[in-house]
């Protein structure tokens, strides 16, 4: 495993005993909240591996819910996050899974409201560093550390170049990009992490392209 800085080993400023089980869990929850776009009415949280075995002792449960409430890792409200979620009318359900996953610190978060559902899988890889590895059955790699755009689109010729040309027009440097598709010619998803802030005009121009179904903007 490669670390970018000492903070990847020491971990972030946080509430809780563990950078991977608490801070990382809070960050996964917060990214899921951002992807959902609003506060959910219900969250079903499935825990795997080490998360499943130690989630109460290490505060993984309150950390994930705190993230869903948009709390940062150092927010002093995290220990009370489950009660705060209940007060806000959010239904929380935890499921302990026995399935062996590729990474021991794995969580699947399913979020619901009256209009939509979201299914996110994330892993905590140490020092508070995370990866989102699946979104609505699309395989991906999203760190949550940089501004990013997720573009759901029809798998058609020219869509990728159309999006990257817009990013070049606004001088946005791509740090990471990947494309995932469920089936040839069907739906696909671009995940693009960039080095600069993504302005509204960029999103608007991407959404105006043909064959674009949805865009989701992630802010660092």
Domain 7-136 has CATH 3.30.70.580: no
CATH topology of domain 148-218: Alpha-Beta Plaits (3.30.70)
Summarised one tens digit per residue, pLDDT across range 80-137 is: 999 999 999 999 999 999 887 878 899 999 999 988 999 999 999 887 889 999 999 8
Structure tokens at 42: 């219900």
Summarised one tens digit per residue, pLDDT across range 131-155 is: 999 999 899 899 888 999 999 999 9
Summarised one tens digit per residue, pLDDT across range 52-75 is: 888 888 889 999 999 999 999 889
- Cβ-based neighbour number of residue 52 at 10 Å: 21
Q: Is the pLDDT reported for residue 37 higher than 50?
A: yes
Summarised one tens digit per residue, pLDDT across range 151-174 is: 999 999 999 999 999 999 999 999
Mean pLDDT of the chain, nearest integer: 88
Identical fold at 7-136 and 148-218? no
Nearest to residue 40, comparing CAs of 105, 90, 99? 90
CA-only gyration radius of the chain, Å: 18
Coil, helix or strand for 30?
helix
**Which residues, including other chains, have CB under 8 Å from residue 26's CB and lie 6 or more apart?**
14, 16, 63, 64, 66, 67, 71, 72, 73, 78
Half-sphere exposure in the Cβ direction for 191 (13 Å, CA):
19
Q: Are 130 and 57 in contact (CB under 8 A)?
A: no
* pLDDT score of 98: 87
Q: How many degrees, rounded to 5, is the angle at CA 72 between CA 69 and CA 78?
A: 60
How far apart CA 51 and CA 96 sit, in angstroms, is: 9
Sheet strands side by side (includes 174-181): 174-181, 187-194, 148-154, 212-218
This prediction has a pTM of 0.82
Binned at pLDDT 50, 70 and 90, residue 5 comes out as: very low
* pLDDT score of 175: 94
Would you kindly state where each structural domain of the chain is located, as residue ranges?
7-136, 148-218
Give the rounded distance of the alpha carbon of 50 from its chain centre: 20
Give the rounded distance of the alpha carbon of 24 from its chain centre: 11
What Cα–Cα distance (Å) separates residue 150 from each residue in 91, 135, 138, 213? 27, 10, 11, 11
């Amino acid at each position: 495993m490669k670390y970018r800085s000492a903070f990847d080993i020491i971990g972030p400023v946080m509430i809780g005993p563990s950078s991977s089980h608490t801070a990382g869990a809070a960050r996964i929850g917060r990214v899921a909240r951002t992807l959902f776009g609003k506060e959910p009415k219900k969250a079903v949280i499935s825990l795997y591996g080490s998360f499943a075995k130690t989630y109460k002792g290490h505060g993984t449960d309150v950390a994930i819910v705190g993230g869903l409430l948009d709390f940062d890792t150092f927010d002093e409200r995290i220990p009370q996050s489950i009660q705060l979620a209940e007060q806000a009318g959010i239904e929380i359900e935890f499921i302990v899974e026995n399935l062996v996953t590729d990474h021991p610190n794995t969580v699947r978060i399913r979020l619901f409201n009256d209009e939509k559902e979201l299914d996110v899988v994330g892993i905590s890889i140490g020092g508070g560093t995370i990866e989102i590895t699946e979104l609505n059955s699309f395989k991906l790699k999203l760190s949550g550390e940089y501004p990013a755009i997720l573009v759901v689109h029809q798998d058609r010729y020219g869509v990728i170049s159309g999006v990257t040309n817009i990013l070049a027009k606004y001088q946005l440097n791509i740090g990471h990009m990947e494309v995932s598709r469920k089936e040839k010619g069907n739906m696909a998803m671009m995940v693009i992490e960039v080095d600069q802030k993504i302005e509204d005009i960029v999103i608007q121009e991407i959404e105006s392209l043909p064959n674009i179904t949805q865009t989701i903007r992630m802010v660092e």
